[in-house]
Amino acid sequence: MSARDNILARLRVAPGSGATPGVRDFGVIEALEWTPAERAERLVRLLRSVNTEVHETTQATWPGLLRELCVAKGVGRLCLAPVTPVGAAASEALAGSGVATLAYDRDIEAWREELFFEVDAGLTAVTAGIAETGSLFVVPTPDEPRLLSLVPPVHFAVLSRAVIANTLLEVLRAQGYGATMPTNVLLISGPSKTADIEQTLVYGVHGPNQLVVLLTD
């Protein structure tokens, strides 16, 4: 008998194993509802409460704002996905700004050192916002890989007001993942932080020390 068989066999003989317990009533979460304006206000307030820089901007003007912010923050190299609408708009706006853009178009093995030590910022789109907790629902893709929102010290995230949902439950149900989840799904709620030294809150540990959200219409 394998460990697996032994474990499952012990569980199966237990009294009450396999019983159908009462239903789970998600009403307490489903009841969390706000108007679109309230959702945006709540998301912005909660993100700011954990040191996130949120800029309320528009579809037309965010690339220009990104350019200003990159220059102001001294970002020399910004990694983005030029093939996506967000990445394309940013590339165009940054042309001639002195901020170099580069794509994450190689496997990590080919440029690990460079990504870890020579990229100042990463830019990603955001699939949805979550008003309840002030979170960005981010789904990494081949164009915007997992480390893009994690390794560079500054993470720029572009989020449209139109996709701010009430709760994570609502987002998960709307995505309708069923049995097929993407390789990685993330909720990001602020820059990385720790309070492990005598509960003193410090921002910027192993992840970005700045999260900059460009909230568009």
Partner 1 sequence: MNRPATEFKERIQRALDDPQIRTNFRRAMDGLMAKRAAMFPDADELEQLRDLGAAVRRNALARLPGLLEKLEANCQRNGIIVHWAESVAEANAIVLDIVRKHGGKSVIKGKSMVSEEMELNHHLEAHGIEALESDLGEYIVQLAGETPSHIIMPAIHKNTRQIAELFVEKLDGVEFTEDAEALTAIARGLLRRKFLDADVGLSGVNFAVAETGTLCLIENEGNGRLTTTAPDVHVAVTGIEKVVETLDDITPLLSLLPRSATGQGITTYVNMISGPRKQGERDGPREVHLVLLDNGRTTSYVDPELRTTLQCIRCGACMNHCPVYARIGGHAYGTVYPGPIGEILSPQLLGCDEAGALPGASTLCGACGEVCPVRIPIPKMLVRLRREAVTRDAASPVKDAGAQRSTSEALIWKAWARIHAVPGLYSLVTRTASAFKKMPVVGPLKAWSSVRTPPRVAGRTLHQRMAARGSTK
CB of 159 to partner 1, least distance (A): 16
Whether residue 34 contacts residue 42, with contact meaning beta carbons closer than 8 Å, is answered with: yes
User: Residue 173 interacts with partner 1 (CB under 8 A)?
Assistant: yes
Residue 159 in the binding site for partner 1 (CB under 8 A): no
Shorter beta-carbon distance to partner 1: residue 72 or 196: 196
- Under a CB-based contact definition with an 8 Å cutoff, are residues 130 and 95 in contact? no
Query: Residues near 150 by Cβ (< 8 Å), separated by ≥ 6?
Result: 122, 207, 208
* Nearest-approach distance from CB 128 to partner 1, in angstroms: 13
Q: Distance between CA atoms of 103 and 80, rounded to whole angstroms?
A: 5
Q: Among residues 60 and 202, whose Cβ is nearest to partner 1?
A: 202
Region 68-87 residues binding partner 1, contact defined as CB under 8 A: none
Distance CA 74, CA 68 (A): 10
- Between CA 80 and CA 64 the distance in angstroms is 16
Residue 40 tokens read as: 């945006």
Span 184-213, contacts to partner 1 by CB under 8 A:
184-200, 202, 204-208
26 vs 36, which CB is nearer to partner 1? Answer: 26
What does DSSP say about strands 100-103 and 128-130: parallel, antiparallel, or unpaired? unpaired
Binding residues for partner 1 restricted to 10-39, rule: CB under 8 A? 10-29
Encoded tokens for 11: 């569980």
CB of 42 to partner 1, least distance (A): 11
Site for partner 1 in 90-109 (CB under 8 A): 104-108
Smaller CB separation from partner 1, 72 or 113 = 113
Minimum Å distance from CB 118 to partner 1? 13
Question: Is 129 an interacting residue with respect to partner 1 (CB under 8 A)?
Answer: no
Q: Name the burial class of residue 204, with classes exposed (0-12), middle (13-18) and buried (19+) by CB atoms within 10 angstroms of its CB.
A: middle
Rounded Cα distance between 142 and 9, Å, is 42
Choose between 87 and 208: whose C-beta lies nearer to partner 1: 208
Residue 23 is classified by DSSP as P
Confirm or reject binding of residue 112 to partner 1 (CB under 8 A). Answer: yes
Q: Which is nearer to partner 1, 10 or 217 (CB)?
A: 10
- Token reading at 119: 């990229």
For position 177 contacting partner 1 by CB under 8 A, the verdict is: yes
